Amino acid sequence: MNETFRLGRIAGIRVGVNASVLVIVAIIAAGLALGRFPLVLPGRSGLAYAAAALVAAAAFLASLLAHELAHAVVARRNGVEVEGITLWLLGGVARLRGGARTPGAEFRIAGVGPLTSLVLGGLAMAAAVLARVAGAGGLPVAVLDYLAVINVSLALFNLVPAAPLDGGRLLRALLWWRRGDPWSSAVTASRAGRFFGFALVALGALQLVTGRGLGGLWLGLIGLFLVNAATAEEQQARASARLGGLPVGRVMSGPVLTADPDQPVDRFLYEVALAHRFSTYPLVGPGGALVGLVTLNRLRSVPASARATTRLRDVACPPSEVPTARPEEPLLDLLGRMEGCSDGRAVVLDGGRVVGVVSPSDVTRTLQLADLAAAGRYPGAGGGADVARVPGPGPG
Protein backbone atom coordinates (compact mmCIF):
# COMPACT_ATOMS: atom_id res chain seq x y z
CA MET A 1 0.00 0.00 0.00
CA ASN A 2 2.99 2.31 -0.47
CA GLU A 3 2.31 5.36 -2.62
CA THR A 4 3.51 5.24 -6.23
CA PHE A 5 3.14 8.96 -6.72
CA ARG A 6 2.07 11.84 -4.54
CA LEU A 7 -0.95 14.03 -5.19
CA GLY A 8 0.04 16.74 -2.71
CA ARG A 9 -1.30 17.83 0.66
CA ILE A 10 -4.82 18.49 1.86
CA ALA A 11 -5.27 20.15 5.25
CA GLY A 12 -1.57 19.57 5.76
CA ILE A 13 -1.91 15.80 5.26
CA ARG A 14 0.13 14.09 2.54
CA VAL A 15 -1.98 12.28 -0.04
CA GLY A 16 -0.59 9.63 -2.38
CA VAL A 17 -1.82 7.00 -4.81
CA ASN A 18 -0.68 3.43 -5.29
CA ALA A 19 -0.58 2.26 -8.91
CA SER A 20 -3.05 -0.51 -8.07
CA VAL A 21 -5.79 2.12 -7.84
CA LEU A 22 -5.87 2.09 -11.65
CA VAL A 23 -7.26 -1.44 -11.43
CA ILE A 24 -10.26 -0.40 -9.35
CA VAL A 25 -10.85 2.61 -11.62
CA ALA A 26 -10.85 0.29 -14.64
CA ILE A 27 -13.20 -2.19 -12.95
CA ILE A 28 -15.66 0.50 -11.88
CA ALA A 29 -15.58 2.30 -15.21
CA ALA A 30 -16.01 -0.91 -17.20
CA GLY A 31 -18.84 -2.12 -14.99
CA LEU A 32 -20.71 1.16 -15.33
CA ALA A 33 -20.06 1.77 -19.02
CA LEU A 34 -20.83 -1.78 -20.14
CA GLY A 35 -23.39 -2.80 -17.54
CA ARG A 36 -25.23 -0.43 -15.24
CA PHE A 37 -25.59 2.68 -17.41
CA PRO A 38 -26.75 0.92 -20.63
CA LEU A 39 -29.22 -1.04 -18.51
CA VAL A 40 -30.85 1.94 -16.79
CA LEU A 41 -30.48 4.38 -19.71
CA PRO A 42 -30.43 2.50 -23.03
CA GLY A 43 -29.88 4.19 -26.35
CA ARG A 44 -26.88 6.41 -25.56
CA SER A 45 -23.59 6.26 -27.38
CA GLY A 46 -20.68 4.19 -26.12
CA LEU A 47 -18.63 7.37 -25.74
CA ALA A 48 -21.29 8.92 -23.50
CA TYR A 49 -21.39 5.81 -21.31
CA ALA A 50 -17.59 5.76 -21.06
CA ALA A 51 -17.37 9.46 -20.15
CA ALA A 52 -20.04 9.14 -17.46
CA ALA A 53 -18.38 6.00 -16.10
CA LEU A 54 -14.99 7.72 -15.80
CA VAL A 55 -16.58 10.69 -14.02
CA ALA A 56 -18.33 8.32 -11.62
CA ALA A 57 -15.11 6.37 -10.96
CA ALA A 58 -13.18 9.58 -10.29
CA ALA A 59 -15.93 10.85 -7.98
CA PHE A 60 -15.88 7.56 -6.10
CA LEU A 61 -12.12 7.92 -5.53
CA ALA A 62 -12.76 11.44 -4.27
CA SER A 63 -15.35 10.00 -1.88
CA LEU A 64 -12.78 7.46 -0.62
CA LEU A 65 -10.32 10.28 -0.12
CA ALA A 66 -12.90 12.27 1.86
CA HIS A 67 -13.56 9.20 4.02
CA GLU A 68 -9.84 8.78 4.82
CA LEU A 69 -9.29 12.51 5.28
CA ALA A 70 -12.03 12.53 7.91
CA HIS A 71 -10.18 9.78 9.78
CA ALA A 72 -6.88 11.64 9.51
CA VAL A 73 -8.19 15.05 10.57
CA VAL A 74 -10.02 13.69 13.61
CA ALA A 75 -7.00 11.55 14.53
CA ARG A 76 -4.75 14.59 14.44
CA ARG A 77 -7.20 16.54 16.61
CA ASN A 78 -7.08 13.68 19.12
CA GLY A 79 -3.31 13.75 19.41
CA VAL A 80 -2.47 10.96 16.94
CA GLU A 81 0.25 11.75 14.41
CA VAL A 82 -0.78 11.22 10.78
CA GLU A 83 1.84 10.09 8.28
CA GLY A 84 -0.39 10.37 5.22
CA ILE A 85 -3.17 8.85 3.12
CA THR A 86 -2.77 6.37 0.28
CA LEU A 87 -5.47 5.29 -2.18
CA TRP A 88 -4.98 1.75 -3.46
CA LEU A 89 -6.69 -1.29 -4.99
CA LEU A 90 -9.13 -2.02 -2.16
CA GLY A 91 -9.91 1.56 -1.21
CA GLY A 92 -7.84 3.89 0.92
CA VAL A 93 -5.83 3.87 4.11
CA ALA A 94 -4.95 6.66 6.52
CA ARG A 95 -1.54 5.82 8.00
CA LEU A 96 -1.52 6.78 11.67
CA ARG A 97 1.59 6.70 13.85
CA GLY A 98 0.46 5.25 17.13
CA GLY A 99 -3.05 4.74 18.37
CA ALA A 100 -5.73 6.56 20.27
CA ARG A 101 -5.05 7.06 23.97
CA THR A 102 -8.65 6.74 25.12
CA PRO A 103 -11.67 4.70 24.00
CA GLY A 104 -13.49 7.95 23.27
CA ALA A 105 -10.77 9.08 20.88
CA GLU A 106 -10.77 5.65 19.23
CA PHE A 107 -14.55 5.86 18.78
CA ARG A 108 -14.38 9.34 17.23
CA ILE A 109 -11.53 8.47 14.86
CA ALA A 110 -13.23 5.28 13.68
CA GLY A 111 -16.76 6.60 13.48
CA VAL A 112 -16.11 9.72 11.45
CA GLY A 113 -15.21 7.74 8.31
CA PRO A 114 -18.54 5.92 7.86
CA LEU A 115 -20.34 9.09 8.94
CA THR A 116 -18.59 11.01 6.15
CA SER A 117 -19.56 8.36 3.59
CA LEU A 118 -23.18 8.45 4.78
CA VAL A 119 -23.26 12.24 4.46
CA LEU A 120 -21.77 12.09 0.95
CA GLY A 121 -24.28 9.41 -0.03
CA GLY A 122 -27.13 11.50 1.36
CA LEU A 123 -25.95 14.59 -0.51
CA ALA A 124 -25.70 12.67 -3.78
CA MET A 125 -29.18 11.23 -3.23
CA ALA A 126 -30.63 14.66 -2.47
CA ALA A 127 -28.95 16.12 -5.57
CA ALA A 128 -30.42 13.35 -7.74
CA VAL A 129 -33.91 13.91 -6.31
CA LEU A 130 -33.70 17.66 -6.83
CA ALA A 131 -32.46 17.15 -10.39
CA ARG A 132 -35.44 14.93 -11.18
CA VAL A 133 -37.84 17.42 -9.58
CA ALA A 134 -36.34 20.11 -11.80
CA GLY A 135 -36.97 17.93 -14.85
CA ALA A 136 -33.38 16.84 -15.41
CA GLY A 137 -32.37 13.29 -16.12
CA GLY A 138 -29.94 11.26 -18.18
CA LEU A 139 -26.43 10.16 -17.35
CA PRO A 140 -25.57 12.99 -14.91
CA VAL A 141 -28.42 11.91 -12.64
CA ALA A 142 -27.41 8.26 -13.10
CA VAL A 143 -23.93 9.19 -11.88
CA LEU A 144 -25.47 10.83 -8.79
CA ASP A 145 -27.57 7.70 -8.17
CA TYR A 146 -24.45 5.55 -8.33
CA LEU A 147 -22.54 7.81 -5.95
CA ALA A 148 -25.44 7.73 -3.49
CA VAL A 149 -25.59 3.93 -3.53
CA ILE A 150 -21.83 3.34 -3.43
CA ASN A 151 -21.19 5.77 -0.56
CA VAL A 152 -24.00 4.38 1.58
CA SER A 153 -22.79 0.84 0.78
CA LEU A 154 -19.23 1.84 1.72
CA ALA A 155 -20.45 3.23 5.05
CA LEU A 156 -22.53 0.14 5.87
CA PHE A 157 -19.73 -2.26 4.92
CA ASN A 158 -17.24 -0.36 7.05
CA LEU A 159 -19.62 -0.48 10.00
CA VAL A 160 -19.42 -4.29 10.18
CA PRO A 161 -17.93 -4.92 13.67
CA ALA A 162 -14.80 -6.64 12.42
CA ALA A 163 -11.25 -5.28 12.41
CA PRO A 164 -9.62 -3.77 10.43
CA LEU A 165 -12.88 -2.21 9.27
CA ASP A 166 -14.09 0.93 11.01
CA GLY A 167 -16.79 -1.12 12.70
CA GLY A 168 -14.04 -3.25 14.22
CA ARG A 169 -12.44 -0.10 15.63
CA LEU A 170 -15.80 0.94 17.06
CA LEU A 171 -16.16 -2.52 18.62
CA ARG A 172 -12.69 -2.20 20.12
CA ALA A 173 -13.53 1.24 21.53
CA LEU A 174 -16.73 -0.05 23.16
CA LEU A 175 -15.00 -3.11 24.62
CA TRP A 176 -12.10 -0.96 25.77
CA TRP A 177 -14.56 1.36 27.52
CA ARG A 178 -16.24 -1.59 29.27
CA ARG A 179 -13.18 -3.70 30.05
CA GLY A 180 -10.58 -1.01 30.57
CA ASP A 181 -8.12 -3.07 28.51
CA PRO A 182 -7.35 -1.88 24.96
CA TRP A 183 -5.31 -4.94 24.00
CA SER A 184 -7.80 -7.71 24.81
CA SER A 185 -10.43 -5.56 23.11
CA ALA A 186 -8.25 -5.35 20.00
CA VAL A 187 -7.78 -9.14 20.02
CA THR A 188 -11.57 -9.66 20.14
CA ALA A 189 -12.15 -7.20 17.27
CA SER A 190 -9.39 -8.87 15.23
CA ARG A 191 -10.88 -12.32 15.73
CA ALA A 192 -14.23 -10.98 14.53
CA GLY A 193 -12.42 -9.56 11.49
CA ARG A 194 -10.83 -12.91 10.70
CA PHE A 195 -14.20 -14.67 10.98
CA PHE A 196 -15.83 -12.10 8.69
CA GLY A 197 -12.97 -12.40 6.21
CA PHE A 198 -13.31 -16.20 6.03
CA ALA A 199 -17.06 -15.77 5.54
CA LEU A 200 -16.42 -13.49 2.55
CA VAL A 201 -13.93 -15.97 1.11
CA ALA A 202 -16.51 -18.75 1.42
CA LEU A 203 -19.21 -16.59 -0.16
CA GLY A 204 -16.86 -15.67 -2.98
CA ALA A 205 -16.04 -19.33 -3.60
CA LEU A 206 -19.75 -20.13 -3.71
CA GLN A 207 -20.32 -17.41 -6.30
CA LEU A 208 -17.45 -18.74 -8.39
CA VAL A 209 -18.97 -22.22 -8.33
CA THR A 210 -22.38 -20.87 -9.33
CA GLY A 211 -20.97 -18.92 -12.27
CA ARG A 212 -20.75 -15.37 -10.92
CA GLY A 213 -17.02 -15.22 -11.54
CA LEU A 214 -15.97 -11.59 -11.17
CA GLY A 215 -18.16 -10.87 -8.15
CA GLY A 216 -16.98 -14.00 -6.38
CA LEU A 217 -13.35 -13.28 -7.17
CA TRP A 218 -13.69 -9.75 -5.79
CA LEU A 219 -15.36 -10.96 -2.58
CA GLY A 220 -12.65 -13.58 -2.12
CA LEU A 221 -9.92 -10.97 -2.59
CA ILE A 222 -11.49 -8.66 -0.01
CA GLY A 223 -11.96 -11.58 2.37
CA LEU A 224 -8.32 -12.66 2.10
CA PHE A 225 -7.19 -9.09 2.75
CA LEU A 226 -9.38 -8.90 5.86
CA VAL A 227 -8.10 -12.25 7.16
CA ASN A 228 -4.46 -11.22 6.71
CA ALA A 229 -4.97 -7.75 8.16
CA ALA A 230 -6.97 -9.02 11.13
CA THR A 231 -4.36 -11.67 11.88
CA ALA A 232 -1.60 -9.07 11.79
CA GLU A 233 -3.59 -6.77 14.07
CA GLU A 234 -4.16 -9.56 16.58
CA GLN A 235 -0.45 -10.35 16.65
CA GLN A 236 0.35 -6.67 17.10
CA ALA A 237 -2.18 -6.34 19.91
CA ARG A 238 -0.72 -9.34 21.74
CA ALA A 239 2.80 -7.96 21.35
CA SER A 240 1.67 -4.52 22.51
CA ALA A 241 0.04 -6.04 25.59
CA ARG A 242 3.36 -7.64 26.52
CA LEU A 243 5.24 -4.38 25.95
CA GLY A 244 2.68 -2.13 27.61
CA GLY A 245 4.15 0.08 30.31
CA LEU A 246 7.77 -0.47 29.32
CA PRO A 247 9.84 2.72 28.93
CA VAL A 248 12.31 3.03 26.09
CA GLY A 249 15.21 3.09 28.54
CA ARG A 250 14.41 -0.46 29.69
CA VAL A 251 14.65 -1.82 26.15
CA MET A 252 17.45 0.17 24.50
CA SER A 253 20.97 -1.14 23.96
CA GLY A 254 23.84 0.83 25.36
CA PRO A 255 26.39 2.21 25.84
CA VAL A 256 26.47 3.39 22.25
CA LEU A 257 29.47 3.57 19.98
CA THR A 258 29.17 6.82 18.06
CA ALA A 259 31.07 7.84 14.95
CA ASP A 260 32.58 10.95 13.39
CA PRO A 261 30.36 12.07 10.48
CA ASP A 262 33.40 13.22 8.46
CA GLN A 263 35.30 9.93 8.70
CA PRO A 264 35.75 8.15 5.33
CA VAL A 265 33.77 4.95 4.93
CA ASP A 266 36.86 2.77 4.31
CA ARG A 267 38.61 3.92 7.49
CA PHE A 268 35.45 3.47 9.51
CA LEU A 269 34.96 -0.07 8.22
CA TYR A 270 38.50 -1.19 9.02
CA GLU A 271 39.05 0.74 12.25
CA VAL A 272 35.57 0.53 13.83
CA ALA A 273 33.01 -1.73 12.17
CA LEU A 274 35.26 -4.78 11.82
CA ALA A 275 36.40 -4.46 15.42
CA HIS A 276 32.88 -4.49 16.92
CA ARG A 277 29.66 -6.47 16.60
CA PHE A 278 27.44 -3.43 16.29
CA SER A 279 25.35 -2.76 13.20
CA THR A 280 24.13 0.73 14.12
CA TYR A 281 26.24 3.84 14.68
CA PRO A 282 24.82 7.28 15.54
CA LEU A 283 26.85 10.16 14.10
CA VAL A 284 27.52 13.04 16.48
CA GLY A 285 29.00 16.47 15.86
CA PRO A 286 31.63 18.31 17.93
CA GLY A 287 29.02 19.39 20.48
CA GLY A 288 27.62 15.87 20.87
CA ALA A 289 24.44 16.56 18.89
CA LEU A 290 23.01 13.84 16.69
CA VAL A 291 23.78 14.59 13.01
CA GLY A 292 22.82 11.28 11.41
CA LEU A 293 22.72 7.51 11.66
CA VAL A 294 24.58 4.85 9.68
CA THR A 295 23.91 1.13 9.62
CA LEU A 296 25.93 -1.65 8.03
CA ASN A 297 23.13 -2.00 5.53
CA ARG A 298 23.63 1.60 4.36
CA LEU A 299 27.41 1.22 4.27
CA ARG A 300 27.04 -1.89 2.13
CA SER A 301 25.52 0.25 -0.61
CA VAL A 302 28.78 2.23 -1.05
CA PRO A 303 30.91 0.73 -3.89
CA ALA A 304 34.38 -0.38 -2.81
CA SER A 305 35.97 2.08 -5.24
CA ALA A 306 34.18 5.02 -3.60
CA ARG A 307 34.71 4.18 0.06
CA ALA A 308 37.91 6.22 0.41
CA THR A 309 36.24 9.42 -0.80
CA THR A 310 32.79 8.94 0.74
CA ARG A 311 32.21 10.29 4.23
CA LEU A 312 29.83 8.69 6.70
CA ARG A 313 27.55 11.74 6.61
CA ASP A 314 27.18 11.25 2.85
CA VAL A 315 25.42 7.91 3.30
CA ALA A 316 23.83 8.49 6.72
CA CYS A 317 20.15 8.78 7.44
CA PRO A 318 19.70 12.55 8.12
CA PRO A 319 18.80 13.57 11.67
CA SER A 320 15.37 14.81 10.61
CA GLU A 321 14.49 11.26 9.52
CA VAL A 322 16.00 9.39 12.46
CA PRO A 323 13.35 8.33 15.01
CA THR A 324 14.34 9.58 18.45
CA ALA A 325 12.94 9.09 21.93
CA ARG A 326 13.64 9.88 25.56
CA PRO A 327 14.50 7.06 28.00
CA GLU A 328 11.28 7.61 29.95
CA GLU A 329 9.03 7.63 26.87
CA PRO A 330 6.69 4.60 26.53
CA LEU A 331 8.09 2.07 24.09
CA LEU A 332 4.73 1.67 22.36
CA ASP A 333 4.79 5.35 21.39
CA LEU A 334 8.16 4.83 19.69
CA LEU A 335 7.42 1.62 17.79
CA GLY A 336 5.19 3.31 15.22
CA ARG A 337 8.04 5.68 14.31
CA MET A 338 10.72 3.01 13.81
CA GLU A 339 10.67 2.91 10.04
CA GLY A 340 12.12 4.66 7.00
CA CYS A 341 15.76 5.23 6.19
CA SER A 342 16.99 4.27 9.67
CA ASP A 343 16.41 0.57 8.90
CA GLY A 344 14.01 0.21 11.80
CA ARG A 345 16.38 1.73 14.37
CA ALA A 346 15.75 4.59 16.78
CA VAL A 347 18.18 6.72 18.80
CA VAL A 348 17.56 7.46 22.47
CA LEU A 349 18.48 10.98 23.60
CA ASP A 350 18.81 12.30 27.14
CA GLY A 351 19.22 16.07 27.24
CA GLY A 352 20.31 16.02 23.59
CA ARG A 353 23.03 13.44 24.28
CA VAL A 354 22.95 10.01 22.63
CA VAL A 355 22.54 7.36 25.33
CA GLY A 356 21.18 4.35 23.49
CA VAL A 357 19.76 2.70 20.41
CA VAL A 358 16.57 0.69 20.01
CA SER A 359 16.61 -1.91 17.23
CA PRO A 360 14.18 -4.63 16.14
CA SER A 361 16.40 -7.19 17.91
CA ASP A 362 16.00 -5.26 21.17
CA VAL A 363 12.21 -5.37 20.83
CA THR A 364 12.29 -9.07 19.91
CA ARG A 365 14.46 -9.87 22.92
CA THR A 366 12.04 -8.01 25.20
CA LEU A 367 9.08 -9.92 23.76
CA GLN A 368 10.87 -13.22 24.30
CA LEU A 369 11.53 -12.30 27.92
CA ALA A 370 7.88 -11.35 28.35
CA ASP A 371 6.85 -14.74 26.93
CA LEU A 372 9.20 -16.54 29.32
CA ALA A 373 7.84 -14.54 32.24
CA ALA A 374 4.24 -15.27 31.26
CA ALA A 375 5.03 -18.98 31.00
CA GLY A 376 6.61 -19.01 34.46
CA ARG A 377 9.99 -20.10 33.12
CA TYR A 378 11.84 -16.95 34.21
CA PRO A 379 11.90 -16.87 38.01
CA GLY A 380 11.73 -13.42 39.48
CA ALA A 381 10.51 -11.73 36.27
CA GLY A 382 7.09 -10.31 35.66
CA GLY A 383 5.20 -9.42 32.54
CA GLY A 384 4.77 -6.07 30.82
CA ALA A 385 6.62 -3.26 32.56
CA ASP A 386 8.06 -5.71 35.09
CA VAL A 387 10.21 -7.50 32.53
CA ALA A 388 13.85 -6.70 33.22
CA ARG A 389 15.94 -6.12 30.15
CA VAL A 390 18.94 -8.38 29.74
CA PRO A 391 21.88 -6.27 28.54
CA GLY A 392 22.52 -7.07 24.91
CA PRO A 393 25.76 -7.06 22.93
CA GLY A 394 25.25 -3.40 22.03
CA PRO A 395 23.36 -1.41 19.45
CA GLY A 396 21.93 -3.88 16.97
As a whole number of angstroms, the longest Cα–Cα distance in the chain is: 83
Q: Which helix (H) or strand (E) covers residue 346, if one does?
A: strand 346-350
Is 68 an annotated catalytic residue?
A: yes
Distance CA 324, CA 252 (A): 12
Q: How many CB atoms lie within 10 A of CB 126?
A: 12
> Whose CA is closest to 350, among 288, 291, 396?
288
- 286 CB-contact burial (10 Å; exposed 0-12 / middle 13-18 / buried 19+): exposed
Checking DSSP bridges between strand 346-350 and strand 324-325, what pairing results, if any? Answer: parallel
State which H helix or E strand residue 192 sits in: helix 182-209
From CA 78, how far away is CA 83, in angstroms rounded?
14
Query: CA 338 from chain center: how many Å?
Result: 13
Q: Which of 68, 106, 233, 234 is catalytic?
A: 68
The answer to whether residues 326 and 350 touch, using CB atoms and an 8 Å cutoff, is yes
Name the DSSP letter for residue 387.
P
Sheet order of strands, 5-10 included: 5-10, 13-17, 81-88, 91-97
Dist. CA 247–CA 378, nearest whole Å? 20
Task: Give the active site residues.
Answer: 68
